Amino acid sequence: MPTLTLSQLVAGRELAAEAMRKLGPVEGTHVVVDARPLVSGSTSFAGQLVRSALLDGRAAELTILGGPAEFLADVKIAAEQLQVTDHVAFAPTDADLGVHS
Amino acid sequence: MPRRVPDRLLARLLPEQADGVRRVSFAGMRWVPPAAMVAAAAQAHRAHDEGVPFVLVGPTDEEPAHYAARMRLGRVLAELGATHDLPAVREHDRQEDLIEVIRLDSVHAVDRLARMVYRKVRPRGAELAAALHRSVAEVGENVMDHSGTIGYLAAQTLPRRRELLIAIADSGVGVLATLAHRGAQSHEDAIGLATREWVSRYDQPDRGRGLPSALRLIGREQGSLYIASGTAGIRHFPSTRRYSAVDDAYQGTIVEARIPLGPAAAHPQSPPGDAAAR
């Protein structure tokens, strides 16, 4: 399961795309974004994360683990705009996804 | 039809060109807001790119002149081959709680500066720091995406007025050029469109939330966001807007956020000025 762990502060579409590219090919996989360390993430970063994982990378599913409410709202809005809401899930901070904190 | 007031700051930042030299003058300014410093740096950058000599005439008064120098405006101008009459200052004159004039020349620089803003503002509150981190990131990204050039950022706190000011400017194509195909017919129209959700130069359904997001976050902090481009300026307050105008077009875009820092904050619509700016 490709997992992207966010730092405390993230911003920028290009940097979101770059972070996703570093995961390698994700087509057909379940991508987990560990947003538990995140303190502040920009709207653009959240939007690009959804685009890069599900549209560009063709991942089957994207799960956001933890993260600040505003960031999650931005992910949700981007998913709605890109019509991929069925492929995006939100897991609480203590969810057991096999991701080490 | 909203009333428009003359935009005195924007008018002052319009470069004059004579005898092959482009000139911006801060003469007579009693203080130099970060918006003026970053706009001057952006105009010097443009002049440098066009091979036109650029001159900044510094403030006549010693205090604002030293202040602009401490903000490293002179150093930035010198690096661009521009000339100025700002005084030389010692490095240790810099205060810890401001961000001097710094160039935004890549998405990595935007990210770094947004982080710097977060660190500087964090002691004043986590929520405010996060709001400004996101806002600076969005505005900076806009510069990278739309201006066709680089930008400059500066920030300062005004202890007496209990205000924090952050400004970003570029001397790029301006907002109208990027949004004319979205129906903007004037600079003012374009600024209005730029702050509306889902309006972007790009034909992608998930674009166009950056600047509106910055506006919302700054409004939540009871701050105001000024956006100027071409002949128009709009200061967005939480529940109202103030429209301003100049006769000749400013080439590029200036964005300035003003955030009150506590219960003693001055009313955000008060005129600028704080002799103890640092």
pLDDT of residue B271: 38
Residue A54 has pLDDT above 60, yes or no: yes
Average pLDDT, integer, range B209-238: 91
Say if B273 falls within a structural domain: no
Domain that holds residue B147: 4-260
Contact B143, B173 (CB under 8 A): no
Give me the CATH number covering residue B147: 3.30.565.10
Pair of tokens at residue B176: 């109208």
pLDDT of residue A11: 94
The more confident residue out of B121 and A22 is A22
Contact A76, A45 (CB under 8 A): no
CB pairs under 8 A between A and B: 67
Say if B13 falls within a structural domain: yes
The more confident residue out of B277 and B39 is B39
Give pTM, 2 decimals: 0.88
Say if B265 falls within a structural domain: no
Average pLDDT, integer, range B143-162: 85
Say if B223 falls within a structural domain: yes
Mutate to test the interface with B, among A40, A45, A56, A81 (most CBs of B within 10 A): A40
Q: Give all domains of chain A, ordered by start, each with its CATH number.
A: 3-91 (3.30.750)
Chain A residues touching B108 at Cβ < 8 A: 15
pLDDT of residue B93: 52
Q: What share of chain A is helix, strand, coil (3-state, %, to 5)?
A: 40, 20, 40
Residue B264 has pLDDT above 60, yes or no: no
Say if B20 falls within a structural domain: yes
The more confident residue out of A24 and B276 is A24
Q: Do A11 and B137 touch (CB under 8 A)?
A: yes
**Per residue in A26-41, is it b (16+ CB within 10 Å) or e — as a string?**
beebbbbbbbbebbbb
Residues 111-150 of B with CB under 8 A from A: 111, 114-115, 118, 126, 129-130, 133-134, 137-138, 141
Q: Do A42 and B207 touch (CB under 8 A)?
A: no
Average pLDDT, integer, range B32-55: 96
pLDDT of residue A40: 95
Say if B49 falls within a structural domain: yes
Pairwise CA distance, residues B93 & B128, whole Å? 27
Is residue B107 within 8 angstroms of chain A, CB to CB?
yes
Average pLDDT, integer, range A23-35: 97
Is residue A55 within 8 angstroms of chain B, CB to CB?
no
Contact B254, B226 (CB under 8 A): yes
The more confident residue out of B52 and A100 is B52
Residue A35 has pLDDT above 90, yes or no: yes
Number of domains in chain B: 1
Q: Give the percent of chain B with pLDDT over 90.
A: 57
Q: Look at residues A2, A6, A15, A1 and name the one whose alpha carbon lies nearest to residue A66.
A: A6
In the structure, what pLDDT confidence band is assigned to residue B272 with cuts at 50, 70 and 90? very low
Average pLDDT, integer, range B231-249: 95
Average pLDDT, integer, range B220-229: 93
Q: Do A12 and B137 touch (CB under 8 A)?
A: yes
Average pLDDT, integer, range A37-56: 96
Say if B275 falls within a structural domain: no
Say if B187 falls within a structural domain: yes
In the structure, what pLDDT confidence band is assigned to residue B266 with cuts at 50, 70 and 90? very low
> What ipTM was assigned to the predicted interfaces of this complex?
0.93
